[in-house]
Amino acid sequence: MAITGPADGAPYKSGVAIVDVLAGWSAVTAILAGLAARERDGAGSHVKTNLVSTGLAALVNVGGAALMTGREASRHGNAHASIEPYRSFSAADGDFLLAVGTDRQFAVLCERVLGRPDLGADARFAAKGDRPAAPRRGHGEALRRGRARGAVAIGRPRGPGAPPHLWLTPLGPSMKKIE
């Protein structure tokens, strides 16, 4: 819980039993690998997983960053520890999530959504690794104007932003009943 919750608030638990789910996924992957090995060479396999190992494996980015920097991980709320903007925003017409993971996506965001191509060219923001250290202003303030305008400009549903309560909407027609 040292990495969940608001940066200046109390820790939160995960919204779902994610470690349990990932342990099951790990077990399925191991079972499939064992079946493939049996098919290939006729040998049986022993499958073993546990929640602690799975939880540690799921924290590979957090653990790696702590080991590389010598700094303990901390809470960032809905923001990403090392990518900006990659978090939730409140806009005039509702909340939304924005995940801009590449320099090209950031340039498109600045040009098409914010109407500020100068931000994409600004040395403080142009490279992905520099954005988290730069002040979180400019793009945040401009994004508050409205999520609908931003979603259209980014090219939703393919774009890196969406309202949090609409995640299943784009999937609706493509979802099929499993029988």
Strands, E assignment, 4-99: 86-91, 94-99
**Does 20 participate in catalysis according to the annotation?**
yes
Q: How far is CA 77 from CA 88, 89, 123, 132, 150, in A?
A: 9, 12, 26, 14, 22
Among 20, 41, 93, 103, the active-site one is 20
| Contact of 114 with 73, CB cutoff 8 Å | no
Which strands sit side by side in the sheet containing 161-162, from one edge to the other? Answer: 86-91, 94-99, 161-162
Assigned token pair, 52 = 């602690």
Q: Residue 137 carries which DSSP code?
A: -
Q: Map tokens 């040292």 to a residue.
A: 2
What residues are annotated to the active site? 20
